[in-house]
Amino acid sequence: MLKTVTMKDIAMKLGVSTVTVSKALTDKEGVGDELRATIKEMAKQMGYRYTIGAKAQKTGKSYNIGIILESHYVDFQNDAFYMKMYQNIIKILAKSNYSGIMELITQEMMKEAIMPNILVENKVDGIIVLGQIKSEYLKMVRDSEIPIVYLDFYDRQMEVDSIITDSVYGTYMLTNYIVSNGHSKIAFVGSIHATASILDRFLGYYRSLLVNNIPFREDYVISDRGDDGLFIELDLPEDMPTAFVCNCDELAYILMEKLKAKGYRIPEDISVVGFDNYTFAGYSSPRLTTVEVNVEAMAQTAVETLIKRILGEKYIQGRRVISGNLIIRDSVADISKHQ
């Protein structure tokens, strides 16, 4: 079976970037006429297939918005948090006479530097990136010069309009609430270098420890996912804490089930809190104390920001932080009376 020729293959053959190949094949500015002709000829020789729409120069608006997210967010996790976010985006777009087109970004696409089809084929006027994707791939998408907004994350290596929840203050509130119930042996569960939001949630946890004069313990920071973004087996510390701050509700649910299997009672023996207030928070037993993310406000802000960019309005947005709410339920025990 013949291998499908990608833009990366053409780029390697000619010693240019994938972005340059994309611009040449879609007749965008930034590529000289001679190089453009060379790239198109090489694409033809190598048997690269692209549509008439991708070859035509974009002369007007499609009134389509692309929503791209990494496939593992929907392929391997049961949490429908991003699907709820997507549904809100679609509803808000409809009110502005836009449609949304979702495309999942696979590991192979990132490894082979394959651009999203909705960009290659000029199907959209702008892109919302939903959930964090590796910086190298994001740079390739951004270099296509299409209006773009990041939703529910930001990238420390590039300045792009980003809409995020207030992760730092959210976990600061959560941890303070745990402390107010008499806990001082508090662990954080999350791979802090995996995403910007997990790092921010760790910083909120750490800030609470500092403010409350609780010593920080490295063995109380527990990794939850590998380099591929998928959950790994949780390695619990030998000296068990009395409370865990988890970076999301799904992880909190997984941890609670693991603790129950080991004979711990929640919250009588160990307290657990999460973040997001979606799906797992409602049906976990006991019901989970968490931070509710304002999904509607985040989606609204992302759409409004992107449409302004598409229309060429000059304004400064940068990073927009949307506040969440502390939701107190049943998963934290007051142990102050027992000390």
pLDDT score of 229:
80
- Tell me the helix, strand and coil percentages in the chain, rounded to 5: 40, 15, 45
Together in a domain, 50 and 171:
no
Q: Is residue 309 assigned to a domain?
A: no
pLDDT score of 110:
92
Q: How many Å apart are CA 251 and CA 176, to the nearest integer?
A: 20
- Residue-wise over 207-233: b if at least 16 C-beta within 10 A, else e? bbbeeeebeeeeebbbbbbeeebebee
Together in a domain, 31 and 171:
no
pLDDT in tens, 91-110: 999 999 999 999 999 989 99
The token pair that represents 5 in the structure block: 């020729």
Q: How many distinct structural domains can be found in the chain? A: 2
Total-model pTM = 0.79
Q: Is residue 19 assigned to a domain?
A: yes
- Picking from 21, 37, 59, the residue at the C-terminal end of a domain is 59
What's 282's domain CATH number? 3.40.50.2300
Domain that holds residue 271: 167-292+326-338
- Picking from 41, 59, 77, the residue at the C-terminal end of a domain is 59
Q: What is the mean pLDDT of the chain?
A: 89
What residues does 244 pair with on adjacent strands? 187, 272
Q: Is residue 22 assigned to a domain?
A: yes
pLDDT in tens, 189-212: 999 999 999 999 999 999 999 999
pLDDT in tens, 154-176: 987 778 999 999 999 999 999 99
Q: Is residue 106 assigned to a domain?
A: no
Residue 76 · residue 42 · CB < 8 Å = no
Q: Is residue 155 assigned to a domain?
A: no
Place of tokens 């309005």: 313
Torsion 130-135-139-140 (CA) sign: negative
